[in-house]
Amino acid sequence: MKFFADTAEIADIRELNDAGLLDGVTTNPSLIHKSGRDFMEVTKEICGIVDGPVSAEVVALDHETMMKEADVLRKIADNVCIKVPLTIDGLKTCRALTRDGTMVNVTLCFSANQALLAAKAGATFVSPFVGRHDDNGVDGMDLIRDIRLIYDNYDFTTEILVASVRHVVHVLESARIGADVMTAPPKVIKSLANHVLTDKGIEGFLADWAKTGQSIL
């Protein structure tokens, strides 16, 4: 399963990338606002750090203007992936862009039928939002199971990009189901390394090492 970081924070992106934990980045208008950075500038910087796809989202609602915005965004770098909302205009834009060889991430997917449409429109990625479903009392991971089943039934090549990931169990379940990608805040990705027995083990080994009176360097 590929790991994307759901952030526009450069320091976090560099840290995860240096640890070999990053296959791409997703941003959205809210994350750009949170970063306090210029959209074009920060997207260019991220594209220079990460080899994989970097999602940059259009904000227009009609197909024509979406295409104009996508034209500006895809010139930033070869690894820019245009993010469009799951609406008819978004799907139309998806179709036009992917036919042209541009990567497209269809975002704000909340149902398996919507994911079916994204695949038919030739999306590179579809982003089902699991956390926002959980917030509304519905198990978001059930949506991922449904989409996996449907995509496998018809051999769709659109990659399932689990989004709105809030905690480590979302990551574990995504991997169990066989999602292609998950995007999570850097804090969640880093916390995957945490285990109390790892900390305890290090403590014990270091205590015994100190007793030997030796040093490696």
User: Could you say whether residue 131 binds ligand E4P (CB under 6 A)?
Assistant: yes
Among 28, 43, 114, 158, binds ligand E4P (CB under 6 A): 28
190 in catalytic set: no
- Distance set, CA 115 to CA 3, 94, 153 (Å): 20, 13, 13
Under rule CB under 6 A, which residues in 144-173 are in contact with ligand E4P? 163-164
* Distance of closest approach, residue 131 Cβ to ligand E4P, in angstroms: 5
Kindly state whether residue 107 participates in binding ligand E4P, applying the rule CB under 6 A. yes
- What are the strands, taking DSSP E only, across the chain? 2-6, 24-26, 54-57, 80-85, 103-109, 125-128, 159-162, 181-184
Distance (Å, rounded) from C-alpha 7 to C-alpha 185?
6
Q: Residue 2 CB, nearest distance to ligand E4P (Å)? A: 13
The whole-angstrom separation of Cα 164 and Cα 156 is 23
Alpha-carbon span 116 to 123, nearest angstrom: 10
Q: Catalytic: which of 34, 44, 83, 211?
A: 83
Answer yes or no whether residue 183 interacts with ligand E4P by CB under 6 A.
yes
Residue 81 interacting with ligand E4P (CB under 6 A): no
Any contact of residue 52 with ligand E4P (CB under 6 A)?
Answer: no
Neighbouring CB atoms inside 10 A of 77's CB total 16
Q: Considering the rule CB under 6 A, would residue 6 count as an interface residue with ligand E4P? A: yes
Active-site residue list? 83
- Note the residues at the interface with ligand E4P (CB under 6 A): 6, 26, 28, 107, 127, 129, 131-132, 163-164, 183
